[in-house]
């Protein structure tokens, strides 16, 4: 028995350095991926696969003297594209007038893990290397990005060995079900994109939209619980379209996922209690202290429910 215990302890002690080394390698891959997505000139054609749809897209990026130029084009259906020139992003979609806003990020179905803040990510997620594989004809290292608290989704990411670009990403829920899958069909890393993308600088795009300032310094409620690492990014108060009801909202993000809380006085049309989940998106609503409270975003239903149940009503100063 003593010999067995001694052998087991020795085996465990020998395996610990290799586990630590694997985790360090995964962390280095994450850093390499972040650097590649910020600095490389590349084009990537990929498909976004959901349960009921497949969306083909192409993303191009070039960095010219520190100025980032990027373009996302939807390849099926009506013409849709998103164009980024530095800190301005233009949206061209059917049914609405094209518009431009001040921002350094696209709101669009980009390949996950592009341009994330890896330092913030490491505070709330464990990154583990799980093997090697081929994707889009290239050799890749496969890593898993897993929440430390089990309160959010995880990713499995295929990172191209040479460039460090993510070529595939599977969004996984806590039961192991794939909610979304991004798979690259073809890609190229080339400086020849720079003169091509510089044409965007001369393109005639809509003027920057000046949005009304609806940010506030004080709200009458707060969520007393949420997963560690989620921070309030924006707090707003504005009238509901076609109504006198005032809606207060807060957007929270941990750098990888995002959700919002909306609060408005209860009326006859308030959603008494409802849970809707569509892919990665969860909507949870209830009436609390004569207020309609809605939590919606890229979080599991149980997490949305716990956040909603933690909402209390009192005057809160915004920091």
Q: What's the structural domain count of the chain?
A: 2
> Are 169 and 33 in the same domain?
yes
> Are 173 and 299 in the same domain?
no
Task: Give DSSP secondary structure letters for 168-190.
Answer: EEEEE-TTS-EEEEEEEEEEEE-
Taking only the tens place, the pLDDT of each residue in 153-191 is 999 999 999 999 999 999 999 999 999 999 999 999 999
Tokens for 153, please give them. 């989704």
pTM of the complete model = 0.86
In a domain, 250, yes or no: yes
Note the pLDDT of residue 319: 47
Note the pLDDT of residue 268: 75
Output the tens digit of pLDDT for each of the chain's 319 residues. 444 444 444 433 434 344 444 455 888 999 999 999 999 999 999 999 999 899 999 999 999 888 899 999 999 999 999 999 999 999 999 999 999 999 989 999 999 998 888 888 889 999 999 999 999 999 999 999 999 999 999 999 999 999 999 999 999 999 999 999 999 999 999 999 999 999 998 889 998 987 666 666 677 899 999 999 999 988 888 777 667 778 899 999 999 999 999 998 888 777 778 889 999 999 999 999 889 999 999 999 999 999 999 999 975 444 4
In a domain, 210, yes or no: no
Note the pLDDT of residue 318: 47
> Are 16 and 161 in the same domain?
yes
Sign of CA dihedral 150, 152, 153, 157: negative
Whole-angstrom Cα distance, residue 272 to residue 67?
48
> Are 185 and 247 in the same domain?
no
Note the pLDDT of residue 165: 97
Within a 13 Å sphere around the CA of 284, how many CA atoms are in the beta-carbon half?
21
Which of 169, 202, 235 is the C-terminal boundary of a domain? 202
* Domain of 28, in residue numbers: 2-202
In a domain, 252, yes or no: yes
In a domain, 256, yes or no: yes
> Are 35 and 135 in the same domain?
yes
By the 8 A CB rule, do 158 and 35 touch?
A: no
User: Which CATH number do you get for residue 297?
Assistant: 3.30.200.100
Note the pLDDT of residue 242: 65
Whole-angstrom Cα distance, residue 35 to residue 118?
10
In a domain, 207, yes or no: no
User: Which CATH number do you get for residue 101?
Assistant: 2.50.20.10
Note the pLDDT of residue 122: 87
> Are 124 and 229 in the same domain?
no
Tokens for 36, please give them. 């590649």
Note the pLDDT of residue 219: 78
In a domain, 181, yes or no: yes
> Are 21 and 110 in the same domain?
yes
In a domain, 212, yes or no: no
Whole-angstrom Cα distance, residue 318 to residue 313?
14
């Amino acid at each position: 028995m003593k010999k067995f215990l001694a052998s087991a302890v020795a085996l465990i002690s020998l395996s610990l350095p290799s586990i630590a080394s694997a985790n360090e390698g995964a962390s280095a891959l994450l850093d390499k991926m972040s650097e590649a997505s910020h600095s490389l000139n590349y084009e990537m054609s990929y498909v976004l696969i959901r349960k009921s749809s497949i969306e083909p897209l192409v993303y191009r990026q070039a960095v010219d003297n520190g100025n980032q130029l990027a373009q996302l084009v939807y390849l099926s259906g009506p013409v849709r594209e998103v164009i980024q020139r530095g800190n301005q992003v233009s949206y061209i979609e059917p049914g609405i007038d094209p518009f431009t806003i001040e921002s350094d990020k696209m709101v669009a179905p980009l390949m996950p893990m592009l341009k994330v803040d890896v330092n913030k990510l490491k505070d709330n997620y464990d990154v583990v290397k799980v093997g090697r594989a081929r994707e889009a004809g290239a050799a890749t290292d496969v890593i898993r990005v897993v929440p430390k608290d089990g309160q959010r989704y995880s990713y499995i990411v295929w990172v191209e060995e040479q460039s460090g670009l993510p070529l595939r990403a599977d969004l996984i829920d806590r039961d192991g079900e794939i909610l979304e899958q991004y798979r690259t069909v073809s890609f190229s890393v080339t400086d020849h994109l720079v003169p091509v993308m510089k044409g965007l600088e001369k393109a005639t795009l809509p003027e920057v939209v000046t949005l009304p300032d609806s940010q506030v310094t004080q709200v009458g409620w707060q969520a007393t619980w949420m997963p560690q690492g989620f921070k309030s990014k924006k707090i707003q108060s504005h009238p509901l379209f076609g109504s006198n009801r005032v809606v207060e909202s807060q957007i929270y993000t941990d750098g990888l996922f995002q959700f919002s809380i909306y609060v408005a006085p209860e009326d006859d049309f308030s959603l008494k209690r409802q849970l809707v989940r569509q892919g990665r998106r969860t909507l949870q609503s209830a009436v609390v202290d004569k207020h309609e409270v809605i939590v919606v975003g890229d979080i599991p239903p149980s997490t949305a429910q716990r956040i909603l149940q933690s909402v209390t009503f009192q005057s809160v100063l915004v920091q």
